[in-house]
Structure 1
Amino acid sequence: DACETRVPLVLCGNKVDLRDCGGRRGGVASEAGERLARDTGATYFETSCKNGDGVVDALIQLARQMVTTEDVAVQTSALRVCAADQKRPCCGGGGRKDV
């Protein structure tokens, strides 16, 4: 069951602030980042650590995905516990005989 858990992924294409810097090429091409995110099941954000663009949004999205994943895991675990409890015999073991 642990292998079924989906890990939240956020992919950041960084250094977008360099795209328009006097002909200098920098950062990740939007299309390449979006393609990689789609192929890996990640959410894509364009970011710049220099000026902070997109960083907070990426972290908020990651936190939301983590909470959602945790909520589903807790609900699934609770369902397994309840199902296991229902399979037990009535009254704690069914048929204890005092000698």
Structure 2
Amino acid sequence: MAHYDVLSGDCSCDHLFKILICGDSSVGKTSVLERFVCNEFRRVTACTTGVDFMMKYVFVQGKKIGLKIWDTAGQEDYDAFTKQYFRRAQGILLTYDITNHKSFDNLTKWVQKLKQNVPQSEDAKVPIVLLGNKVDLDDQRVVNTSEGLEFAQLHNMSFFETSCVTALNITDAIFALAESILTEISPVEEEPIYTVQFGQVSGNFTERRLNCVSHHQTLLLSTSGSTMGEECGCGKCFC
């Protein structure tokens, strides 16, 4: 599979895709994101509170694609909060931990949650890639590869076993998802293209001005520990 990172600072792109990483707490969602975007792995990461996202620009099938990848909290305490971020998702990375069978058993709940909150239609399907993470801990494996493959086939998902420690299949899985999105999208379904400008820092709050290039609107975001999203008013700019 041919894919190339975009190394320049140019933020213009042909398409902008909104991708969600979902799954139970501590399955490695943040590590997947950081390994793909930053090519880094941290042994210890704090649990995500609410949601956060990172951007990466890549070439897929000759087109420059902006991947806006959202890292969602797996704890039920944040369930009501994170559901709103499922809206207008164009691709899903559904993740479990091969050393934790409960995280695999809970995939059925996640699938139901996605069906309730991510619109699907015959004309516009939202592709899902299933990740069996932490294969570097194969000696502690409790979920067999065959179980993950069977679940993926049952729910029409692509399937990869991954490791954020070794970077095994992280890039291939996300590019496979991006390619699937590219075959499903129509112009009206795309995420609006925007830029973020960082402003004054006051205490624990960083003022950020978000410019919606697609709809010529501007709004302010304030963050403190987790990302809070707003809309510019066009009804399509859920950031």
- Normalising by structure 2, report the TM-score: 0.26
Question: Which amino acid in 1 is paired with 2:171?
Answer: V
How many Å apart are 1:29 and its aligned residue? 1.5
Evaluate the alpha carbon distance shift between residue 60 and residue 46 of structure 1 in structure 2; reply closer, same or farther with a 3 A threshold: same
Q: Residue in 1 aligned with 2:145?
A: 30
**How many correspondences in the alignment?**
67
Q: Following superposition, which runs of at least 4 residues in structure 1 exceed 6 angstroms of deviation?
A: none
More relative contact order, 1 or 2 (CA 8 Å, 6+ apart) = 1
Structure possessing the higher radius of gyration over alpha carbons? 1
Q: Choose the corresponding residue for 2:157, options 33, 42, 67.
A: 42
Instruction: Give 5+ residue unaligned stretches, structure 1.
Output: 75-99
Matched residue of 2:121: which SS?
helix
Identity of matched residues, %: 36
Alignment of 1:61-72 (within 5 A): 61-70=176-185
Question: Which amino acid in 2 is paired with 1:55?
Answer: I
Matched residue of 1:34: which SS?
helix
Question: Which amino acid in 2 is paired with 1:6?
Answer: K
Evaluate the alpha carbon distance shift between residue 45 and residue 33 of structure 1 in structure 2; reply closer, same or farther with a 3 A threshold: same
How many Å apart are 1:26 and its aligned residue? 2.8
Indicate whether 1:58 and 2:177 are aligned: no
* Structure 1 contact 13–33 (Cα < 8 Å) conserved: yes
Instruction: Give 5+ residue unaligned stretches, structure 2.
Output: 1-119, 188-239
Evaluate the alpha carbon distance shift between residue 40 and residue 25 of structure 1 in structure 2; reply closer, same or farther with a 3 A threshold: same
Matched residue of 1:35: which SS?
helix
Indicate whether 1:13 and 2:128 are aligned: no
Q: Residue in 1 aligned with 2:121?
A: 3
Question: Which amino acid in 2 is paired with 1:11?
Answer: L
Matched residue of 2:143: which SS?
coil
Evaluate the alpha carbon distance shift between residue 30 and residue 12 of structure 1 in structure 2; reply closer, same or farther with a 3 A threshold: same
* Structure 1 contact 10–58 (Cα < 8 Å) conserved: yes
**Following the alignment from structure 1 to structure 2, what is the Cα–Cα distance between the partners of residues 66 and 30?**
25
How many Å apart are 1:27 and its aligned residue? 6.2
Question: Which amino acid in 2 is paired with 1:13?
Answer: G
**Following the alignment from structure 2 to structure 1, what is the Cα–Cα distance between the partners of residues 142 and 130?**
13
Matched residue of 1:38: which SS?
helix
